[in-house]
Amino acid sequence: MSFAIPFADRLNNVETSAIRELFKLLGKPGIISFAGGFPDSAMFDVEGIREAANAALNEEPGAALQYGATEGYLPLREQLAAFMASKGAAEVAPEQLIVTTGSQQALDLLGKTLISPGDKVIVEGPTFLATIQCFKLYGAELISAPVDGNGVRTGELERLIEQHKPKFVYLIPTFGNPSGAMLSLERRQKVLEMAVRHDTLIVEDDPYGDLYFGDAPPPSLLALSATVPGSRDRLVHCGSLSKVLSPGLRVGWMVGPADLLAKATMCKQFSDAHTSTFAQATAAQYLKAGRMPATLARVRQVYAARAEAMVQALRSELGDAIDFVPPQGGLFVWARLTGADGRVADGAELARRAIDRGVAFVPGAPFFAADPDHATLRLSFATADEDRIREGIARLAQAL
């Protein structure tokens, strides 16, 4: 007789994502994919990482291959503190951050340490799909705050904070996934002031902040918090090497108030004991060797050209059938179908038609925790070169 696995109730809150189903179709030969959230593997600094891994094994084999501290490998924490200082967050000591297995684990640890079933959490609409699913797994009731071309609308956000008194607010202020939006400096200031005024914890998830195409974005909430008294005590910042160096290394980090980091460290201990010491020692050697600035310059240049190719192609091929704000960084164009001239205005419907024409992208609706906008779509320009991008957008126009 078949056996029914006695799953935990918490799984009732989450289903496998619609996007995962779409990914099954990507194996079709010849398909041009704008669907993934990946950086381009052709951009990995393989030589630099090889040298860093060799240095880790030559100089510190015991540390690189042994169990390590749950908080993270101290030389890496020092390098990460210096990396953040180079971006304006000057006074974060290595002890004020913990290393996580990707920033995804930081999100999971926040769920574990902060969310009890029924707790309210405010996220952006749209926001990172894995965050929605992770927080729901811990029983959060998610409230969606509207976003425009300048990021989350702070007036609406403040109203929602007053109304719902959330456990915390989760934001991706810089080149968010999927919105690509960049929160303006003025709004960043407002978010931090709001945190203090309403005694609300803010989580800043920042895996894309280094991937800007022109001018640098405004300082992170973490960097700005130095100028807003009291805000640092109410702020968590999650960083990641995934988008700029390698997601396979699984190196992320979390800066936050000491008591929160202590509880998160305890939970991490029960989860994976620590992030791979070999990956941490390799990342530390990579940063120490001073390779990051050149790597960042290279990836910014390549993604900027691809973003530009996609923006131009969308404008010339789709015209007024699509509406979007050209991204200033990150990996995504977030767009809305206008339905002009009676054309398709449903992202999921267009995604199905597009697969038949040999191009894939992700419909936008699943990225909303509430009130999905079905006319939206997310197009990643990261993994196809400019010619393939132009060809892919031409196919998209046919599908439309």
- Binding residues for ligand PMP, per CB under 6 A? 37, 102-104, 128, 172, 177, 205, 207, 240, 242, 247, 252
| Closer residue to ligand PMP in complex, CB, 200/242 | 242
CA torsion through residues 291, 297, 299, 302, sign: negative
Which alpha helices (DSSP H) does the chain contain, by range? 18-23, 46-59, 61-65, 74-85, 102-114, 129-137, 154-164, 185-197, 221-224, 258-271, 277-288, 292-318, 347-357, 386-399
Other beta carbons within 10 Å of 199: 12
Question: Shortest gap between Cβ of 201 and ligand PMP (angstroms)?
Answer: 17
Please check whether residue 174 is in contact with residue 206, taking contact to mean a CB–CB distance below 8 angstroms.
yes
Phi-psi region of 96 (alpha: psi -120 to 50; beta: other; left: phi over 0): alpha
- Which value, to the nearest 10 degrees, does the dihedral of the CA atoms of residues 175, 176, 179, 183 take? -60
Structure tokens at 69: 């501290």
Question: Shortest gap between Cβ of 140 and ligand PMP (angstroms)?
Answer: 16
| Closer residue to ligand PMP in complex, CB, 205/210 | 205
Residue nearest to ligand PMP (CB): 102
Question: Shortest gap between Cβ of 205 and ligand PMP (angstroms)?
Answer: 5
Question: Shortest gap between Cβ of 299 and ligand PMP (angstroms)?
Answer: 15
Question: Shortest gap between Cβ of 391 and ligand PMP (angstroms)?
Answer: 25
Question: Shortest gap between Cβ of 243 and ligand PMP (angstroms)?
Answer: 7
| Closer residue to ligand PMP in complex, CB, 287/321 | 287
| Closer residue to ligand PMP in complex, CB, 55/307 | 307
Structure tokens at 55: 């240095």
| Closer residue to ligand PMP in complex, CB, 80/313 | 80
| Closer residue to ligand PMP in complex, CB, 37/125 | 37
Q: Which residue is it, tokens 């620590």?
A: 274
